[in-house]
Structure 1
């Protein structure tokens, strides 16, 4: 993980990986001296598709 002089280091963790892979990545992040860890969390939400509704389009079954 490259570092920029004078810049704080951070790492963005995607939780979709297996626990073993996450543990390995976190160990590498720790050894690299990363100061901040961000964990990404997605909350799938169906959007309001007003345009499609106006056109009479629907969702596939």
Structure 2
């Protein structure tokens, strides 16, 4: 289930699930959270570029 959450871009839910069911050794939270931040940064940069083009 954690792998499905990660592959669908739901890293925060994956961290919550792995912690709740004691799977932190198999799915450590730090890499999952770093992947979430990387995706969020990528998404925010893409959206800000679109909005700047719309203004111009």
Q: Same fold (TM over 0.5)?
A: no
TM-score normalized with structure 1 length: 0.28
- Between 1 and 2, higher relative CO (CA 8 Å, sep ≥ 6) is seen in 1
Bigger Cα Rg: 1
TM-score normalized with structure 2 length: 0.30
